[in-house]
Chains A and B, each alone.
Chain A
Amino acid sequence: MRIELIKRPQRSFVFSLLSPFIALALTMIAGAIMFSLLGKNPLTALYYYFIDPLRAVWQLHELAIKAAPLIFIGVGLAVSFRSNNWNIGAEGQFIAGAIAGSILPVLYPELEFWWVLPLMLVMGFAGGAAYGAIPAILKTRFNTNEILTSLMLVYVAQLFLDWIVRGPWRDPKGYNFPQTISFGDAATMPELMPMAGRANWGFALAILVAVVLWFVMERTLKGFEVKVLGQSPRAGRFAGFSSRRMVFFAFLLSGGLAGLAGINEVSGAIGRLQPVISPGYGFTAIIVAFLGRLNPVGVIFAALLLALTYLGGEAAQTSLQLSDKVVRAFQGILLFFVLACDTLILYRIRLVRTRGAAREVSDGHA
C-alpha cells in the first residue's frame, strides 16, 4: 500500500478561499483533543485561549502590539516566498535590525531630536536588510541553499545580541542585569491612544506597509516581476528579468522589514535591548505569510490571529497552569493544517495497493 498525490486538473477557487478557515477549524479540533489529553476541559481551554484575551480594550491593544511585528515580517516574507526565495531567517534579521536601530539610543542617549526615531527606523531596516543580504550573496555567488544559511544565521544573531547586552552595551547602572539603558523619549515609539492601552504607532505603520506592498504586488511592474520569476524563472529570463537581482530584492526587502519589526519592538513595547526580544516572531511570521495566502492584505488578518495565540498562551499559563510550550504546539498544528489544506487543493490522494511486480516503475509515462 502506498499513497500517491495526483495533481488536480484545476484548483477550486472556492476552496482556495476557504482553505485558511478549514485549517483554523481543524486546528481548533486538534487543540481540543490536545487539551483533553492534558487533562483540561477542552471548551474551557479554548475559551481562555481565544475568547478571554479579547474581552477588554487594553487587551486589544496588547493584540496590536503582538500583531505589528508579525505583519511587518509576514508581508516581507510573503513577497519573498512569491518570488521563490525562501527566507527562513527573519528571526535573525529582526535581531539585527533591533541592534542596528539601537545604536543611536544606546550610544548617543543625549540626542533628543524629532529625527532620532525616524533615523532609528531607517537604521533598523538597513540592519535587517544587510543581515538578509548574507544568504542572498551566498546563494547568488556559491549557489548555497538559502533555507539553510538564513536559518543558521538566526543563531548567530541571537548569540551576538546576548553578548552585546551582557558586554559592551550593558547598562552600567543596571545592577549587572543583562540589558542596555532604557531608551529616551525621543527614541520611543509613541503610543496611539495612551489613555486606552499600550499599542503604538508601529501597528499603524505595519498596516501602511502591508497596503503599500499589496499595491506594489497587484498593480506594478515590480510585483509582476516577482510573480513571473517566482512561477517560472525561464519565462522571467525571457522577459528580461534577472533572477539574481530578484534574490537580492527578496532578501533585502524581507530582511529589511524584519529589521524594521525588530527596532519597532525594542523602541516601542520593550524600551531597551535585552537578551531575548522576540517570542519567535520571525518563525511565526512564516505561518502568517502562508495563512495569509502570501497576500499582504491577507497577512494582516493572519497576523492578528497568530498574535491571539500568543495572548491565549499567556492566559492559558495563568488560568490553566499550562506550559507556554502549548503556544508553539498550537502554531505548529496550525501551520501543518494550512499546508495540508493547500496541498489538497492542488492534489488529490490516491491509495495504491502494491503488487509483486515492479512493472509499475514505468507507469511514470502516463
Chain B
Amino acid sequence: MVDDTRSIPHASLLEVRGLTKIFGQLKACDHIDLTIAKGEIHALLGENGAGKSTLVKMLFGSLEPASGEIRWKGEPVRIGNPADARRLGIGMVFQHFSLFEALTAAENIALALDRDTPIGDIAERARRVSAAYGLPLDPGALVGDLSVGERQRIEIIRCLLQEPELIILDEPTSVLTPQEADKLFETLERLRAEGKAILYISHRLEEVKRMCDKATVLRHGKVVGHCDPRGETASSLARMMVGSEVQKLVREAPAGGASREAVLEIRGLSRHPAGPFSMPLRDISLTVRAGEVIGVAGVAGNGQGEFFEAVSGEALQETAGMVRIRGKDVGRLGISARRQLGAAFVPEERLGHGAVPAMVLSSNLLLSRYRTDAKAFLSAFGIVRSDIVINASRRVVETMDVRKSAENPEAAALSGGNLQKFIIGRELDRQPALMIVNQPTWGVDAGAAARIRQALIDLARAGSAVLVISQDLDELFEISDAIAVMHNGTMSPPLPLAEATYEKVGLLMGGAEPERAGPSDVAGAA
C-alpha cells in the first residue's frame, strides 16, 4: 500500500492555497496556505478559536470552503464530504471519540467500513494492523470496558484500515498518560517511516518540538508562520500562537504548614457506580488546607467525574462524615448548602453543566449564586433583581477579561476559553473559602489558561483552599503544592511537589501501587 508513495519522493501530498471560510462576520480561516509532504509529521498550532478545527473540517470534507484551492498530489480536488476525503486517502482521528460503548472494538470498526465485510475478517485485519503498528488491542473487547487510551487505539486502527496516506490527529495526547503518549509517538514514527503524512493538531508545545518536522501556526484565522519546531523553543512557539509573551505564573510556597485550617476533609469516601459505565469510588481520603492548591491527576474516566459529583454535593454520600467542609459534616447536604459554607465548584463540562447554553451570562451567574447571594440578588417572593445580577456579571466579565460579542450574550455564543473564564470568575467573585475545579483549562487557549491558573494560585495565597482535578500534568505541576492521583476509583496520598516527578505520577496514573512508586510518598497520607 506504500508503493506509489515511494515512487515520487518528497513531492508534496497536500497543498492548500488561499483557503477561506467565513461564518457570518467572522473569517474563521483567512487565506490559509499549507503544504504537507509525504513522510512528514506536520504540526498545526494555534489557540482555541484560531481556526484549526475549521481548517481540518474543510480538509476532511465536513465544511465547504468559501474560496481557495486544495491540491491532492498536484491535482486540484473538491472534497464534498468525509467519504470523498477517505476515498482520496485522508483519514482522521477525532479528539472526541465516536464509539458505541455497548459494542465490541471490531463492531465499532465495522461500522466505518463497507457494509458487506464479514466481522471476522475485520477482526482479523484489525489484529494484523494492531500488531504491525504496536497498537495492542483485543478486537473482541467491549468498548465500555476499555480505557481512553485503548479507545483511541480503536479510532487509529479504524483510520489505518482505510489505508490513508494522510492522517489527521486532533489533540491525540490530551487524554493519555505520559506512558501511553510515548507509545503513540512510536506508532506515529513508524507511520512516518512508511511514508505516510501526518497532520498533528496540538497545543502541547513540548511534544510538537519532539516529534514534528514542520509546523504551521494559526492566529485569528490566519497563518502567522511556518517553521521547523525543532529550531524553536516552547516559549517562542507560544509567542507565535498568542501574539505576545504568555504570562509567567507567579507562585510562592504557602506558609504555616500543617497548622493551617483543614477546609476540606474527605474521610473514607466510597460510592457505588451510578450506571453501567461509571466508576465506583473506593475509600478516598484527602485533606485540603487553607492556602494550598492540591492537584488530582489521573487518566480520564478513573472516577474524577464521580469524585467531583460527590464532593460538590450533586450526589449525596451515605454518611454525613465522609465529607467535611470547614469542620462541618456535609455528606448529607446538597450543593447549595455546601456553597453556603463557602465552597465553590467548577465542573468539567462548561455547556450544559456549568452553564445553560441558551441562557445569557447574567442568568448563568444566577445559576450558581442565587442561594449564596440571595440577599443581593433576590427581593420578596423570589423576584430576581436583574439589574444587580447584570452588574455582578459585568464585574466578572471585566475582572476576568472575558471577550464577548454582545453586552449580555448567551453562554453558547462565547468561545470555550472565554466561557471558562466567566465560569471561574463567577465563583472567584464570591471569594470562596474552598474552590473545587474539574479540568480548569480543558480546551482553553494558552492566554486564557495562564490567566485561570494564576487566578487559582492567587486565591490560594489569599487564604482559600483549592482542589484542582486535571488531566493536564504540566498544569498540575505548575500550580499544585501536592499532587494526588486517581486510578480506578481510588486516590493515592498526595505527593508534595518537591517529591513528585512526571515519572512517579505517570506510574500512579497507570495503576502502580504507591509503595512501588517510591517510599517517601506515603508520608503525605492523611
Contact = CB atoms under 8 A, between A and B. Distances in A.
Interface of A: 9, 219-222, 224, 227-228, 231-232, 234-235, 237-240, 357-366
A17 to B, nearest CB: 17
Contact of B314 (A221, A222, A237, A363): A237
25 contacts: A219-B383, A221-B382, A221-B383, A224-B384, A231-B356, A231-B357, A232-B353, A234-B349, A235-B352, A235-B355, A237-B314, A238-B314, A238-B345, A238-B353, A238-B354, A239-B335, A240-B371, A358-B114, A359-B112, A362-B82, A362-B112, A363-B82, A366-B57, A366-B60, A366-B82
A3 to B, nearest CB: 17
B98 to A, nearest CB: 6
Contact of A239 (B60, B82, B370): B370
Contacts of B359: 227-228, 231
Nearest to B336: A240
B349 A220 contact: no
Given A221-B384, A232-B352, A232-B357, 19 more contacts: A220-B382, A220-B384, A221-B382, A224-B363, A228-B356, A228-B367, A231-B359, A232-B353, A238-B347, A239-B335, A239-B367, A240-B339, A358-B115, A359-B83, A359-B114, A360-B81, A363-B82, A363-B83, A365-B82
Given A232-B352, A361-B111, A9 B23 contact: yes
Contacts of A231: 356-359
Looking at chain A's contact residues, is the secondary structure mostly helix, strand, loop, or mixed?
Answer: helix
Interface in B163-218: none
A185 to B, nearest CB: 36
Given A224-B370, A363-B82, A235 B383 contact: no
B157 to A, nearest CB: 14
Interface in B213-251: none
Interface in B20-63: 23, 57, 60-62
Contact of B62 (A357, A359, A366): A366
Contacts, number: 93
A359 B314 CA distance: 42
Contacts of B94: 365
Interface in B82-118: 82-83, 86, 92, 94, 98, 111-112, 114-115
Nearest to B378: A221
A235, A239, A366, most chain B CB atoms within 10 A: A235
Nearest to A356: B115
B382 A222 contact: yes
Closest CB pairs A-B (n = 3): A366-B62, A240-B336, A358-B115
Contacts of B349: 234
B330 to A, nearest CB: 13
Contacts of B92: 365
B366 A360 contact: no
Nearest to A357: B114
Contacts of A366: 57, 60-62, 81-82
Interface in B379-408: 381-384, 386
B439 interface: no
Interface string B361-379: 0010011101100000010
Given A357-B115, A362-B82, A239 B368 contact: yes
Interface string B280-293: 00000000000000
Contacts of B57: 366
A219 B82 contact: no
Contact of A360 (B83, B345, B383): B83
B355 to A, nearest CB: 7
Contacts of B114: 357-359
Interface in B317-347: 334-336, 339, 345, 347
Nearest to A227: B359
Interface in B272-322: 312, 314
Contacts of A365: 62, 82, 92, 94, 98
